[in-house]
Amino acid sequence: MAALFSALLVGDGSAWADPPPDRKRELIYQLRHDCGSCHGMTLKGGLGPSLLPTALVDRDKEYLQEVILSGVPGRPMPPWRFEISETEAAWLVRQLKEGVEDVQ
């Protein structure tokens, strides 16, 4: 149990484990297609704002995770918590902050 717990704490020091590789591929696909329909396939922005690292430098990871999970009330950004878990949202935010690369 202690070993499992410390395994979750390696990496960037957060307590989140990464989603498994297959799920990462699905999430990146979803990012380009579902999210891309508003934020642009290359995430440069469209109906929704740019999600490129330069556009997100001033944004907290917690804030971005919350927007993905809960959406923005009264704005077209929908909540995704029915499809995307907290762990997955945290992972997606890291991808967005670092620049999205397709998972092999």
Binding site for ligand HEC (CB under 6 A): 30-31, 34-35, 37-39, 47-49, 51, 56, 59, 64, 67-68, 72, 75-78, 80, 92
Closer to ligand HEC at the Cβ: 6 or 73? 73
- Residue 31's CB is within 10 A of a number of other CB atoms, namely 20
- 84: alpha, beta or left? (left if phi > 0; alpha if psi -120 to 50): beta
Shortest distance (Å) from residue 88 CB to ligand HEC: 10
Give the rounded distance of the alpha carbon of 54 from its chain centre. 15
Shortest distance (Å) from residue 15 CB to ligand HEC: 21
Closer to ligand HEC at the Cβ: 8 or 63? 63
Shortest distance (Å) from residue 38 CB to ligand HEC: 3
The count of residues in the chain is 104
Cα(72)–Cα(66) distance, rounded to whole angstroms? Answer: 9
